[in-house]
Amino acid sequence: MCLFRETTMKEKAVSAEASALERVVSAAREVHAASQRLEAHYAQAPDEQPSTLELARFASAMQELKDARDAFDALVAKRSAPSP
């Protein structure tokens, strides 16, 4: 029984890390998409300011990427920490 419990805990940890990594990847894709929209805007109208919505989407995507990376790093650090 103890081996089963240890295996299950490891599987849950791996699953949590996989979910956290998926969040990072998704956030990175959103940053890339928002960045491409801004680049397209500047290519079409280099002298015009992007809309507030375009800038807000980019800022939001960047914040989500930062938060996702921080959460992933914390999860990995917690798992790497020696058990008492």
In the predicted structure, residue 41 carries a pLDDT above the cut 80:
yes
- Rounded to two decimals, the pTM is 0.79
Instruction: Name the percent of the chain lying above pLDDT 90.
Output: 73
Query: Token digits for 2?
Result: 């103890």
In the predicted structure, residue 5 carries a pLDDT above the cut 70:
no
CA dihedral 3, 76, 29, 15 (to 10 degrees): 10
In the predicted structure, residue 40 carries a pLDDT above the cut 70:
yes
Give per-residue pLDDT as tens, 45-80.
999 999 999 999 999 999 999 999 999 999 999 887
* Cβ pair 61, 31 in contact under 8 A: yes
